[in-house]
Amino acid sequence: MLRCLSMSKHMVLFGDTIEIRSQIANPGDYDLKLAVFSGQGKKTSEDKKWHKHFRTSNQWFAALGKINDDTKIEGQFTETLFSDAHLASREFYDQFWRPVACEVSNAGLGFGIKTHLLREMKGLMHILPMAKVAIGESSSNWQKKNENKIDMVYARLYDPLLQDIPSDINGARLHIDDMMSSDSLFLQQMESAYRSLKLDDYKQCRDHLREMRKIYLSWHLNIDL
């Protein structure tokens, strides 16, 4: 979902540092973004665990210790960094952004940060009050379809994902089960989300979004996690 929204020319889709800087230089290159996305799947025909190559939103955070912008280093902080954001200053959190995240912001582009828990979502909204919010919900059918591919310890760990997001939190709401079940419903929801989030290039993104969904489904349905 987050990568689909990041297809917009107003956003940067997370990848390694070289890929991010390429997007900063060419924000409207949708083919480039699709290539970044598709490159995060399996690397060989024997590679069954595609998700081990799938970069997370930790990408934007500085590695633990000295800030390092090596393209191979992922941030070691998880979204829990922001769970109690209301107790700390903006200046405190500013120190954790990787240099490339600051480059994206300074270029006037947006980048997406996912969070799994409501308290973390509220923390992020506190320190980033101008951020646009997208909420993924209604995913029980999709989870059941893939439950035999997910490590049960991992599944139990993320049970809190199933909590409801209160109606007083405004944002684009996307129904995952619908998006996964039908190409037309997926595109309808993407169009609605783009409009809600004031991303004005849905028509230019549409064919690439359809291809992203196709690739993502192939990773899930044809490869054992």
Tokens of residue 45, six digits: 């025909």
Domain that holds residue 63: 2-134+199-222
With respect to residue 145, please indicate whether it lies within any of the assigned structural domains: no
pLDDT tens-digit readout, 58-99: 778 875 544 455 545 444 556 677 877 888 888 888 888 888
The count of domains in the chain is 1
Long-range contacts of 16-23 (CB under 8 A, 24+ apart): 16/55, 16/71, 16/72, 17/69, 17/70, 17/71, 17/100, 18/71, 20/100, 20/103, 20/104, 21/100, 21/103, 23/109
Q: Which amino acid is at 36?
A: V
> What percentage of the chain exceeds 90 in pLDDT?
36
Residue 219 token pair: 């990773």
* Residue 167 scores a pLDDT above 60: yes
Q: How many residues are listed for the chain in this entry?
A: 225
Question: Is the whole model's pTM more than 0.85, yes or no?
Answer: no
Residue 119 domain-assigned (yes or no): yes
